[in-house]
Amino acid sequence: MNFLMRDPVIQGSSMAYHPFIPHRGPEFAMSAMLGHQPPFFPALALPPSGSLSLPGALGKPIMDQLMGAADTGLHFSSLGHQAAAAHLRPLKTLEPEEEVEDDPKVHLEAKELWELFHKKGTEMVITKSGRRMFPPFKVRCTGLDKKAKYILLMDIVAADDCRYKFHNSRWMVAGKADPEMPKRMYIHPDSPATGEQWMSKVVNFHKLKLTNNISDKHGFTILNSMHKYQPRFHIVRANDILKLPYSTFRTYVFPETDFIAVTAYQNDKITQLKIDHNPFAKGFRDTGNGRREKRKQLALQSMRSYEEQQKKENGASDDSSGEQASFKCFGQASSPAVSTVGPPHLKDFCDSEEDSDDESKDGNHKDGPDSSKISTTTGDGKDHEASPAKGHPFGSSDSTGRRTQKSQADSRQSPITVISSTTRSGEELKSPSLDQSKTDECRSISKDSFMPLTVQTDSAHMGHNHLHNFGFPPGLTGQQFFNHLGSAHPFLLHPGQFNMGGAFSNMAAGMGPLLAAVSSGGVSTMDTASMASPPQSLTGAPGLPFHLQQHVLASQGLAMSPFGSLFPYPYTYMAAAAAASSAASSSVHRHPFLNAVRPRLRYSPYSLPMTVPDSTLLTTAVPPMPTVAGGGGGPELKADGLVPASPAVTLDSSSEVTSHSSGIPSASPKACAEKDAANELQSIQRLVSGLESSQDRPRSGSP
DNA sequence: TCTCACACCTTTGAAGTGG
DNA sequence: CCACTTCAAAGGTGTGAGA
């Protein structure tokens, strides 16, 4: 606590931290002070038992570090599929000078639509071939440094470690989550671009696709069906993707965008909402000449003919009953009267690439006709309950009771900015046992894996909301439901980790080295600094850090064995990264106050977001990746134990990224640590390289 | 639960046309 | 050369049958 209290970060609302070094942030501090569980909780992704095959020299040190960390506060537990969580040691506090100048604010576009879906428990279809998200994830950024360049990313992390089932018209926990799918970060195709450019338009991530194909080679985001997820938006101030790993991540989470991945819609209401709002599903609308309409007409026709027949056969007396019943059913099933109304501007929700100019449209949809229409669309009891929303589904009053609850703090106009910190101490982590030990089913299920999330306010807040939204039984409310956004998501940078949008990936296609160019905005301006950096080309992409190469390759659609790339070699890296990231991840606090007011420092993008009424910003950092090591592999692990320790590493001085030391005790100084790290990393890299080659994977464009 | 083919629809971009 | 229109191909959707 003392440590926390003296952490300057606590005082600031905007801060920078080194991405690869866990930081202790306000979030943590606040949580601690408030008696919350430690916000961060490093999750280390480990391969299935026995599958972690690291070269002795490489693997042992890593594992030793990992395991040895126990004394220093590191703690491992099994997470779902062999993931481990590690508690990191306290890190240094941020230095004032490390603070960034900009103060980005992010607003979720089509928020009303998202909320509409959220009320019923958003479902996103995932298919083998990949499906887009609907509503599309779009945001508007403000407060960016006009001149500076930013890379905008998006990823989707599990909201908890539970598996769900749709039972009795509501989503219920059906057990523990299945093993995590490889995490992928989607880099907006326009990245990097100047703040001015980003602010001039709506940033649309509609190209991101979801899949359940674990061996996906397109770079799609892989999800587990029947699991709950939370999309996250990241802003990274960096002029080159090569610097991404060393840059500060500001992560924004919009609670209303969470959803359950499904291979087939479970909730008819959601289906209807999709049909009503998604232009591509227009053919299924009741209005118009789509299939649905035809079906409806056919049905009506048959009904009528049937009735007539009945009349003839039985006389007019009984038809009434039968008729009514029939139509009643029919009406219910196929045509929500409401939905018949033409959906508002479809384009508002699903516009083409350039959203920049669609603002007006987007804005307009609010008063779209649907509002009322939709809310009344299906009519089950639940909906009716929410009826208040009918009037203004989109209205700020927004209505739904649940919304109201959560939100008093709900400021729809201003997303809360939270900077996640990467730092955390074992002590802190442990301590927080705090009261809030609410244990819910999920938690209990996975209790081994995570520290008891606290949830108290957070959980309560979140849980309430979400549970409610998903129609969970009251009993579930308050249970650990959304505590794992981070914990279960180690920051796995591997193969398809990064998925760059079409243009991006296309540009990168087939050329590892050129990826750098890609990152530079399509121009082949390799970052010389990066290039100059030591041996990092595990994959043959000279200037590109391993993980970047991986993700790039993935996005390029290059063959990458899903698992091959995942475990053996990459693993090293993953482990490190994961550990680091996990630090931030695990338990994200959802304390309203914290969420709303304090920026949170998060270590890894895969940490869990907090639930903030409106939007939450978390700052996260990519896993520690010593620059020098570009190779990615296990270097990171080395540091003190996991992760965090990783030396701030030599960042490109030119980089705007803040490479400060944040936290780790050792971080101090780049100098010493750097050197050692560099050497060690190099050696590790060599080892890894060997492994890599043996793995034989097309991962890299060059041999 | 998942996968697949399907019909229906929107989006995209090339080609054509006119000023 | 530019703006606009037309058109076909590409691609996104939910459906429903089958596994």
The Cα angle at residue A200 between residues A197 and A407, in degrees rounded to 5: 120
Residues 147-206 of A with CB within 7 A of strand B? 165-166, 174
pLDDT band at A410 (very low <50, low <70, confident <90, very high): very low
Nucleotides of chain B in contact with protein CB (under 7 A) are 1-4, 7-12
Rounded distance between C-alpha atoms, residue A282 and residue A286, angstroms: 9
Cβ of residue A294 lies below 7 Å from strand B: yes
Integer-rounded Cα radius of gyration of chain A: 25
Which amino acid, residue A282? Answer: K
Torsion of the alpha carbons at A532, A21, A549 and A355, rounded to the nearest 10: -110
Cβ of residue A264 lies below 7 Å from strand B: yes
For residue A51, the model assigns a pLDDT of 25
- Closest nucleotide over all strands to A291 (CA to C1'): B8
CA-to-C1' distance for A347 and B17, Å?
Answer: 28
Which 3 state secondary structure label does DSSP give A316?
coil
**Position A513 pLDDT exceeds 80:** no
For residue A181, the model assigns a pLDDT of 87
For residue A263, the model assigns a pLDDT of 95
Cβ of residue A361 lies below 7 Å from strand B: no
Contact (Cβ atoms closer than 8 angstroms) between residue A118 and residue A182: no
> Can you tell me which residue has its alpha carbon closest to the C1' of nucleotide B2?
A263
CA-to-C1' distance for A289 and B8, Å?
Answer: 10
What mean pLDDT is predicted for residues A439-450? 34
- Closest nucleotide over all strands to A163 (CA to C1'): B1
Cβ of residue A278 lies below 7 Å from strand B: no
What mean pLDDT is predicted for residues A155-166? 94
For residue A690, count other CB atoms closer than 10 A to its CB. 15
Cβ of residue A279 lies below 7 Å from strand B: yes
For residue A270, the model assigns a pLDDT of 94
CA-to-C1' distance for A583 and C4, Å?
Answer: 56
**Position A179 pLDDT exceeds 60:** yes
Cβ of residue A283 lies below 7 Å from strand B: yes
What mean pLDDT is predicted for residues A511-515? 30
Out of A126-140, A352-366, A624-638, the most confident range is A126-140
Residues 344-383 of A with CB within 7 A of strand C? 350
What mean pLDDT is predicted for residues A371-400? 31
What mean pLDDT is predicted for residues A605-631? 41
**Position A620 pLDDT exceeds 50:** no
CA-to-C1' distance for A109 and C4, Å?
Answer: 31
DSSP-H helix ranges across A586-669 = 592-597, 635-638
| Percent of chain A predicted with pLDDT > 70 | 26
Positions of E strands within A480-576:
498-500
pLDDT band at A271 (very low <50, low <70, confident <90, very high): very high
CA-to-C1' distance for A502 and B14, Å?
Answer: 20
- Closest nucleotide over all strands to A165 (CA to C1'): B1
What mean pLDDT is predicted for residues A374-388? 31
Out of A48-52, A246-250, A391-395, A684-688, the most confident range is A246-250
What mean pLDDT is predicted for residues A612-634? 40
The 10s digit of each residue's pLDDT in A105-128 is 999 999 999 999 999 999 999 999
CA-to-C1' distance for A16 and C3, Å?
Answer: 48
**Bond into A344 cis (ω within 30):** no
* Tokens standing for residue A1: 């606590």
Rounded distance between C-alpha atoms, residue A538 and residue A573, angstroms: 12
CA-to-C1' distance for A609 and B9, Å?
Answer: 36
Torsion of the alpha carbons at A24, A25, A28 and A34, rounded to the nearest 10: 130
Lowest mean pLDDT among A405-409, A476-480, A639-643: A639-643
Cβ of residue A294 lies below 7 Å from strand C: no
The 10s digit of each residue's pLDDT in A560-582 is 322 222 222 222 222 223 323 33
Q: In terms of Cα–Cα distance, which of A494, A532, A542 is closest to A702?
A: A542
**Position A427 pLDDT exceeds 60:** no
Q: How does DSSP assign A654-703, residue by residue?
A: T--S-----S-GGGS-HHHHHHHHHHHHHHHHHHHHHHHHHH--TTSS--
Which 3 state secondary structure label does DSSP give A114?
helix
Residues 419-478 of A with CB within 7 A of strand B? none
CA-to-C1' distance for A441 and C3, Å?
Answer: 62
CA-to-C1' distance for A170 and C14, Å?
Answer: 21
For residue A140, the model assigns a pLDDT of 93
Cβ of residue A359 lies below 7 Å from strand B: no
> Can you tell me which residue has its alpha carbon closest to the C1' of nucleotide C12?
A280
For residue A313, count CB atoms less than 10 angstroms from its CB and return exposed for 0-12, middle for 13-18, buried for 19 or more: exposed
Arithmetic mean of pLDDT over chain A: 49
Which 3 state secondary structure label does DSSP give A486?
coil
Contact (Cβ atoms closer than 8 angstroms) between residue A421 and residue A25: yes
Q: How does DSSP assign A54-85, residue by residue?
A: --HHHHHHHHHHHHHGGGGT----EETTTEEE
Which residues, in sequence order, are CB contacts of A650 under 8 Å at separation 6+? A533, A626, A627, A628, A670, A674, A678
Cβ of residue A280 lies below 7 Å from strand B: yes
Rounded distance between C-alpha atoms, residue A579 and residue A79, angstroms: 12
In this prediction the pTM is 0.52
> Can you tell me which residue has its alpha carbon closest to the C1' of nucleotide C13?
A281
pLDDT band at A160 (very low <50, low <70, confident <90, very high): very high
Cβ of residue A337 lies below 7 Å from strand C: no
The 10s digit of each residue's pLDDT in A33-89 is 222 222 222 222 222 222 222 222 222 322 233 222 222 222 222 222 222 222 223
Cβ of residue A127 lies below 7 Å from strand B: yes
Phi/psi at A43 (nearest 5 deg)? -115, 130
For residue A296, the model assigns a pLDDT of 55
- Closest nucleotide over all strands to A130 (CA to C1'): C12
Cβ of residue A139 lies below 7 Å from strand C: no
Cβ of residue A275 lies below 7 Å from strand C: yes
**Could you tell me which residue, A69 or A129, shows the higher pLDDT?**
A129
Q: In the CATH scheme, what is the code of domain A105-281?
A: 2.60.40.820
> Can you tell me which residue has its alpha carbon closest to the C1' of nucleotide C15?
A284
Cβ of residue A138 lies below 7 Å from strand C: no
Nucleotides of chain C in contact with protein CB (under 7 A) are 11-17
Cβ of residue A113 lies below 7 Å from strand C: no
> Can you tell me which residue has its alpha carbon closest to the C1' of nucleotide B10?
A280
CA-to-C1' distance for A282 and B16, Å?
Answer: 30
**Position A318 pLDDT exceeds 50:** no
